[in-house]
Amino acid sequence: MSNNIVFVMKTFHFIYIDTRPQKMSIRFTFVNHNRPQGVQIVSVMIKSCLLPKEIESQMEEKTKVISKNAQQRMFHQNNMQNTRMEEEIVTLMQTFEEQRQQEESAGAERINEEKVKLNDEMAEARKSEATIREEADASIQKLKAENSLEVQRVISRKVRLTSLAIYSKLLTCTLTTTLFSLQ
C-alpha cells in the first residue's frame, strides 16, 4: 500500500436508501465499484448531496411539519410551565398567608396568656394587700385594746391610790380627832 493520497471527486446521481448509516453504505458502494481498478477506499466524506426536487420538497414539508409540531410542543410546554408557575405562586402566597395568620393567632394567644398571668398576679397582689391591711388593722385594734386596757388599769390604780390616799387622810383625821377627843 502506498502513502499517496488521492482525492477523487465524483458526482453520483442515484438514490440510495439503506437502514445502515449512509456513510458506510457509500463507502461499501465505492469499495465495490473501484476494487476492480485496484483503488482502495480508506475513508469517505460526503461534501454535499443533491436530491430530486420532489424529495427536497417532501423533506422541506416534513421539516416544516416537524418544526411546526416542535413549536406547538414548545408553546404548549411554555404555557404549562407558566400555568404551573402561576399555580405555585398562588400556592406560595396562600402558604405565606396561612403562616402569617398562624403567627398572628399564636401571638394573640401568647398575649392572652400573658394577660391572664398578669391578671392573676394583680389579683394575687390585691389579695396580699387586703391580707396585709387586715393584719395591720388587727394589729392596730389589738394595740388600741391593749392601750385602752392599760389606761383603764392606770386609771383604776390612780383611783385606788387616790381612794387610799383619801381614806388614809380620813383615817388620819379621824384618828387625830379621836385622839384629841380622848385626851
Between 147 and 177, whose confidence is greater? 147
Q: Mean of the per-residue pLDDT values for the chain? A: 81
Instruction: Give SS3 for 106.
Output: helix
Residue 158 grid cell: 390612780
What pLDDT does residue 39 have?
67
The pLDDT, as a whole number, for residue 24 is 60
Q: Which amino acid is at 74?
A: M
Compute the residue count for the chain.
183
46 pLDDT band (50/70/90 cuts)? low
Cα 36 to Cα 156: distance, rounded to the nearest angstrom:
165
Spatial separation of the C-alpha atoms in residues 159 and 165, rounded to whole Å: 9
| DSSP code, position 19 | S
Domain ranges of the chain: 1-52, 62-182
For residue 101, the tally of other CB atoms under 10 A from its CB is 10
Compute the distance between CA of residue 164 and CA of residue 9 in angstroms, rounded to an integer: 167
Confidence of residue 14 (pLDDT cuts 50, 70, 90): very low
* Higher pLDDT among residues 50 and 98, named by residue: 98
- Which among 82, 70, 6, 78 is positioned nearest to 37, based on CA atoms? 6
CB 40 within 8 A of CB 30: no
Q: How confident is the model at residue 169 (pLDDT cuts 50, 70, 90)?
A: confident
Would you state the pLDDT for residue 13? 45
